[in-house]
Amino acid sequence: MICPLTYVEEVFKTEHGAVYQCSRKNCYWLDFDGTTTAFKVGDFFMFKKRIDSIDIEAMLNDSSRSSDFEIVMPFRTERCFILSPQNILNLREILSGAKFMLELNGSIKQFLRRGHYCAITA
């Protein structure tokens, strides 16, 4: 579980899980499949790349039992993900949504820093 002493903000959430940003420890927390996993910033994006690279079509077309699940062990974590094709799709949705929100937030901050904002006058 996420440490109650740290300050976390929700980045993106679906019915299958969420990503939170911890400003105190400069990391992301993935809440998925009933457990939470902490990632350093770079490791989080490497994990997303790894999940995006899984060939779901090949898993579905392969009739061997070994293709029913994908085992993923993220770098610098003690977590092991055993993912079905549906789990992979759910996880991709969470990770893609989180990445989009992080990029959007960064773009907005950059835009405001440049002074390209409109003052609303009444």
pLDDT of residue 29: 94
Helices (H), the chain: 41-52, 56-61, 85-113
In this structure, of 3-7, 24-28, 65-69, 70-74, the range with the lowest mean pLDDT score is 3-7
- Picking from 24, 2, 20, the residue whose alpha carbon sits closest to that of residue 11 is 20
Residue 8: pLDDT band by 50, 70, 90 thresholds? confident
Query: Tokens 């109650």 map to which residue?
Result: 4
pLDDT of residue 109: 78
Tell me the two tokens of residue 39.
Answer: 């990632």
Q: What does the pLDDT look like over 54-85, one tens digit per residue? A: 999 999 999 988 889 999 999 988 899 999 99
CB atoms within 10 A of CB 91: 24
pTM of the predicted protein model: 0.84
Q: What is the predicted pLDDT for the residue at 93?
A: 98
Average pLDDT over residues 82-109: 93
**C-alpha distance from residue 103 to each of 30, 46, 65, 80, 96 (Å):** 17, 16, 38, 27, 11
Closest CA relative to residue 94, chosen from 10, 23, 24: 10
* Strand, coil or helix: 119: coil
